[in-house]
Amino acid sequence: MTSQYHMREYIQAGPACLDRTLKALEDPILEIADDVKNGRFERIILSGIGSSYTASVMAAPLFTWYSPVPVHVIDSWEFTTLPTQLVNEKTLVVAISRSGERDLVIDSLKRAERGGAYVAAVTGMPESLMTEYADVTVATCEGPEITYPKTKSVLCCAGALMRMALALAAPHDAGAEDLLRELRGMPAVLERTIAQVEPALTKLVPTLEKHEVMAVIGAGSNHGVALEAALKVQETSGVPTFGCSTCDFMGGLLGGVTGKWLVIAAVTSQDLELSRSVVQIARKLGARTLCITEPDLGFDGQCDHSLTLPTRVDRLLAGLVYLSPMHLLTYYLTLAKGRNPDAPASMNIMLEALLPPGREEPELRKVR
């Protein structure tokens, strides 16, 4: 299966990029973790926009489990409005941006600098503008990504943040040690996942692309995947798409579902019963449903379409495994709509809004 577009190549390259990233960032992450565990900080704030924000949401459950201090996930604009007591010398700000050039991210770093916070920049561009405001840089290793919708960089960023969360665990925590081994083995799991899911997904797309509205839902780390999928589907294919946690969907958005909707649920053993209830209601309201599930969940026949992953992983890492199927869905749905997945129609307008005056994302010069 070949493609004239870079996006699919980058999805395929994601596992190897994640492997390189996890091997390369040990020193800065352990340095940051030591400062946290030694009491230097009273709080951690993860901040970014777009896919950098969704990667933070994917990693948030691991931070909740293993951080000895409170962790907040706040988008870059909201960060600029935070009061003094939350942004000071006792605050670790983990700022995330693939390009390191987005205007809102730079504004948030200026706010951190004014408050005296310590800044760790997580970026794929170690020479970018944001690193000029950072005390330490955690450089991901995805390499060039000459597309507006980023895929391998999101995977690497989420993996880097998950590694950072696990580094905050107490010494000799057996659960964290098991998760770290599983995280380091994730590239091989992702290769098997892409190989199994992609052929099945290409057969489904002609049916899926007929829907006028989509919703993607997930719990735990898959909440971040749902947000990421909604972002990607809208910016590339143009299909209006909602992304939210499974619980939030049940609490309100589900009431607006009609036969024009496709509801995509990322289902794990942890949220099995909640997901089953949501899918059943969506179908009663006339929506079609696609469920992406772990193996052996007994979910067969309970949704209109299904994709089964080859391996079950810990729920705190699950988002990494569900991410690639969502990116592949975005890619093939965009092709079915007759659009260019590398350079969406809105790309130039969005870049002008997101970048500071006089700045440019160098990789995108080739597709603009």
Look at the domain 6-184 and name its fold.
Rossmann fold (3.40.50)
DSSP H or E stretch at residue 24: helix 6-24
For the chain, list the strands marked E by DSSP: 43-48, 71-75, 91-96, 118-123, 136-139, 213-218, 241-245, 261-267, 288-293, 305-308
Please report, for residues 102, 282, 288, the alpha-carbon distance to residue 258 in angstroms, rounded to integers and kept in the order given.
Answer: 37, 8, 9
Q: Does domain 187-336 have CATH number 3.40.640.10?
A: no
Question: Residue ranges of the domains in the chain?
Answer: 6-184, 187-336
| Per-residue model confidence as pLDDT tens digits over 182-208 | 999 999 999 999 999 999 999 999 999
The string of pLDDT tens digits covering residues 160-183 is 999 999 999 999 999 999 999 999
Instruction: Give dist(CA 211, CA 11) in Å, integer.
Output: 24
Task: For 11-64, write each residue's pLDDT tens digit.
Answer: 999 999 999 999 999 999 999 999 999 999 999 999 999 999 999 999 999 999
Given this chain, do its domains 6-184 and 187-336 carry the same CATH topology? yes
In degrees rounded to 5, what are phi and psi of residue 243?
Answer: -130, 130
Three-state secondary structure call for residue 144: coil
pTM above 0.85, yes or no: yes
